[in-house]
Amino acid sequence: MEGVIVGVESTAHTLSIGMVSESGELIPSESSVFTPEHGGIHPREAADHHSLVASELVSRVMDREGFAPSNVKAISFSQGPGLGPCLRVGASLARTLSKTWDVPLIGVNHCVAHIEVGRNQTGCDDPVLLYASGGNTQVIARAGSRYRVLGETLDIGIGNMLDKFARIHDIPFPGGPVIERLASEWASGGVSATSELELPYAVHGMDLAFSGILTAAISLSEREGLGASSWSLQEHSFASCIEVSERALAHTGKTELLLGGGVACNGRLREMAEIMCEERGATAHWPEKQYCIDNGTMIAELGRREIEMGRVTNLEDSAINPMLRTDSSPISWN
Ligand code: AMP
Ligand code: MG
């Protein structure tokens, strides 16, 4: 039987344990999402949640696939970026499994994992990644031995912005999917005059910003209602991400756009990506929803690639790095 690499994801609200076979077959994760009763995510409360569910998730994924510890070849974990207390739980779990099962440990970059799972699943080769998630919004592409950040949000992640807008309207986390439904229900009535639904549009060169649009969308919702403002919020914020992605394709000469992160589950964002790519002779790709959101499988997949290149993480180098940058992790595979 082929061995597997186990991946531990714990950067923010989700603890997720996934696997990939040594030859690169993705095995779905078992996940548990911390959802606060009120307000935003408190890192320590999320970390407590992760500790409580950790051993159950490990057993669940192993039992489901009929794997014993002897099938496991390595343990991979998110070393950063993310919320310190949450990262620490994942790292401790990974160290413990690595020691107990006597297999190598490998700490990986969460943002890079979104790219590698997308490449594995969609077959795209050298994409520009639009990484649109709760805490992160970045446009990334490979140049030489690094994935470079070509543009990114200067304030909050697009998913956080959608979640905050939702929370103001008593919609619990995650708000993004509900806003998507409200927007499409409103638009299904036909969209005509939209000048009164205009919102700020924040593209700064290759960078983005979402706090201004959030404030303006909250006032718009008081005037025009939740459906119309949800629709307009999606149109403006997604268009800004697609514009920066298009410029990234133009500057790099690459011809594939890959979507990743939880917001990449959104049908309207996917449609905009497809239209833009078609217009410029490029192709748009996205993995299945379970691999767009944070998941342990993508951490396992990046771990597999790193181990193939001979990289492992010694215990003394396994400290988490909440501020880890996408472009600080060397990339040596094809
Ligand atoms: P992640 O941080 O990558 O795990 O993704 C979580 C974020 O994705 C949250 O901010 C969600 O609101 C957002 N999200 C999930 N599904 C959708 C969707 N269909 N449309 C917009 N945002 C979404
Ligand atoms: Mg993520």
Cβ(132)–Cβ(115) below 8 Å: no
Structural domains of the chain sorted by starting position, each given as residue range(s) with its CATH number in brackets: 4-115+291-328 (3.30.420.40), 124-290 (3.30.420.40)
Q: pLDDT tens digit string along 194-224?
A: 889 999 998 999 999 999 999 999 999 999 9
Residues of the chain by 3-state class (helix, strand, coil), percent to 5: 50, 20, 30
Give the other-Cβ count within 10 Å of 142's Cβ.
18
Planar angle of CA 91, 94, 97, nearest 5 degrees: 150
Sequence-ordered list of residues with C-beta below 8 angstroms from that of 233, at least 6 positions apart, any chain: 162, 165, 179, 183, 199, 213, 217, 220
Q: Is 116 in the pocket of ligand 1 (CB under 6 A)?
A: no
Q: pLDDT tens digit string along 284-294?
A: 999 999 999 99
Give the span between the Cα atoms of 149 and 138, in whole angstroms: 7
**Position 311 pLDDT exceeds 80:** yes
Q: Is 294 in the pocket of ligand 1 (CB under 6 A)?
A: yes
Residue 268 Cα: closest atom of ligand 1: 20
Cβ(324)–Cβ(79) below 8 Å: yes
Q: Is 159 in the pocket of ligand 1 (CB under 6 A)?
A: yes
Give the other-Cβ count within 10 Å of 254's Cβ.
18
Distance 296 CA to ligand 2 centre (A): 11
Q: pLDDT tens digit string along 85-144?
A: 999 999 999 999 999 999 999 999 999 999 999 999 999 999 999 999 999 999 999 999
- Residue 40's pLDDT band, with cuts at 50, 70 and 90, is confident
Give the span between the Cα atoms of 90 and 78, in whole angstroms: 7
Q: Is 261 in the pocket of ligand 1 (CB under 6 A)?
A: yes
0.75 cut: is pTM over it? Answer: yes
Give the span between the Cα atoms of 183 and 185, in whole angstroms: 6
